[in-house]
Amino acid sequence: MAKRVGMEVSLGVSEAVKVADVDVIAAYPITPQTHIVEHLAELVANGELDAEFIPVESEHSAMSSCVGSSATGARTYTASSSQGLALMHEILYIVPALRLPVVMTVANRALSGPINIWNDHSDIMSERDIGWVQTFAENGQEAFDLSIHAFRVAEDHSVLLPVIVNLDGFTLTHVVEPFEILDRAEVAKYLPPYKPVQRLDPEHPMTMGAVGIPEVYTEAKKQMEDALVRSKSVVIQAWKEFGDLFGRYYHPVETYKTEGAETLLLTMGSVSETAMTAIDKMREAGKKVGLVRFRLWRPFRFEQFVEAVKGIKNPAVMDRAMSPGGPCGPVAAEVRAALYDQPNRPKVFSFVAGLGGRDVQVSDFEEIVSRAEIYAEKGAPATYDLIGVREI
């Protein structure tokens, strides 16, 4: 039976991994991911979860072990963050290329330097093109639900790709929230045991990870990308079934008070809750503002987004990562590309805020909205605005 608990979000994620009955966890500790893997180690140690916990000597080995484990057909999980994710980088591309449904939680954190353990999205924005399905959680309940959903999507035979669930380091991982925990029997109705299509098996020897000569490399990449693009419908269908079973429905894009909005904030992750408070405040003051939150970040090619921003004059994207030397924040660049071919396309304004744990407050969103309104009228700067930077 589902039960309502007050729990640190990290522990909630571990509980989700437990009820998903994973076979192998390979993980290396990094702040702010540690509570997730500590709790999993504890669950394995006290017999609540029957799994192999590999306490690897680096994140590079964590992901490498995950590849080996998943290639035997085991349900496989890891979690990481920031420098650890960057250390995995090389292997991250190989997991979807081998079509292995590894699931990973990323506790989003700034990348060095300077070294900084606090929240932003620079770690995951560096991993945009790895070929994984990527979702973003806004709160504890969502972190739990998306973790279950991740296994369901990854292991679907028309997908067979790894999935990352992003959640903001500290601002989400380390807060205690009330949420509903599903038990194993309930989850079993939603998440059947993983049935690998291919695995390392002496009874049926196969070669995995062969050299992709020029004659086949393009086709190999195309096959993987096609699966990623098509995963969108599985992601959406799996969310629908999740809602039908457990009463909580999720969508690739969520809108908040977008009716009649002229200026639209676009956000991702836990900051969206602050953004909603800001929207409420500005709406009360008579401003025509709304909010769009991205839950699905990869694949990012969806009509749901275009539909959500239809008729909006001033989309203002708040990125939590820089793209140094580039024209705008990384999410803003994608939004611009997504809207470029639309009739009467709006200008897309790019703002970067909340870097390295800098608090993002209601006033910051008010600032973004007012600047977007001014830029809409008088023209925008050629690049992006770094909100809250001290200009002295």
DSSP per residue, 2-33: -EEEEEEHHHHHHHHHHHTT-SEEE----TTT
Please give the Cα distance from 297 to 77 (Å, whole number). Answer: 20
Please give the Cα distance from 363 to 276 (Å, whole number). Answer: 12
To other proteins, the closest distance from the beta carbon of 156 in angstroms equals 13
To other proteins, the closest distance from the beta carbon of 28 in angstroms equals 10
Q: Please identify, using beta-carbon distances, which residue of 91 and 369 lies nearer to other proteins.
A: 91
To other proteins, the closest distance from the beta carbon of 195 in angstroms equals 9
**How many C-beta neighbours within 10 Å does residue 94 have?**
16
Please give the Cα distance from 336 to 315 (Å, whole number). Answer: 10
To other proteins, the closest distance from the beta carbon of 57 in angstroms equals 3
Tell me the two tokens of residue 35. 């509570």
Residues 57 and 84 sit within 8 Å (Cβ to Cβ)? no
Q: Please identify, using beta-carbon distances, which residue of 213 and 392 lies nearer to other proteins.
A: 213
Q: Please identify, using beta-carbon distances, which residue of 209 and 260 lies nearer to other proteins.
A: 209
316 by DSSP, 3-state: which?
strand
Q: Please identify, using beta-carbon distances, which residue of 77 and 294 lies nearer to other proteins.
A: 77
DSSP per residue, 80-123: E-HHHHHHHHHHHTHHHHTT---EEEEEE-PPSSS---S--SHH
Q: Please identify, using beta-carbon distances, which residue of 92 and 143 lies nearer to other proteins.
A: 92
To other proteins, the closest distance from the beta carbon of 47 in angstroms equals 12
Query: What distances in angstroms separate CA 390 from CA 118, 326, 363, 380, one per listed residue?
Result: 19, 21, 16, 20
To other proteins, the closest distance from the beta carbon of 11 in angstroms equals 22
For other proteins, the binding residues (CB under 8 A) are 23-24, 26, 50-52, 54-58, 60-62, 64-74, 76, 90-91, 94, 97-100, 160, 193, 197-198, 200-202, 204-213, 215-216, 218-220, 222-224, 226
Please give the Cα distance from 175 to 7 (Å, whole number). Answer: 8
Residues 271 and 354 sit within 8 Å (Cβ to Cβ)? yes
37 by DSSP, 3-state: which?
helix
Q: Please identify, using beta-carbon distances, which residue of 96 and 140 lies nearer to other proteins.
A: 96
Tell me the two tokens of residue 45. 């140690």
Q: Please identify, using beta-carbon distances, which residue of 51 and 234 lies nearer to other proteins.
A: 51
To other proteins, the closest distance from the beta carbon of 231 in angstroms equals 14
DSSP state of 203: T
Q: Please identify, using beta-carbon distances, which residue of 126 and 198 lies nearer to other proteins.
A: 198
Which of 100, 238, 220 lies closest to 160, judged by CA?
100
To other proteins, the closest distance from the beta carbon of 29 in angstroms equals 14
Please give the Cα distance from 375 to 262 (Å, whole number). Answer: 13
To other proteins, the closest distance from the beta carbon of 155 in angstroms equals 13
Q: Please identify, using beta-carbon distances, which residue of 61 and 361 lies nearer to other proteins.
A: 61
Which of 233, 268, 238 lies closest to 254, judged by CA?
268
Q: Please identify, using beta-carbon distances, which residue of 89 and 174 lies nearer to other proteins.
A: 89
Please give the Cα distance from 377 to 347 (Å, whole number). Answer: 11
To other proteins, the closest distance from the beta carbon of 86 in angstroms equals 15
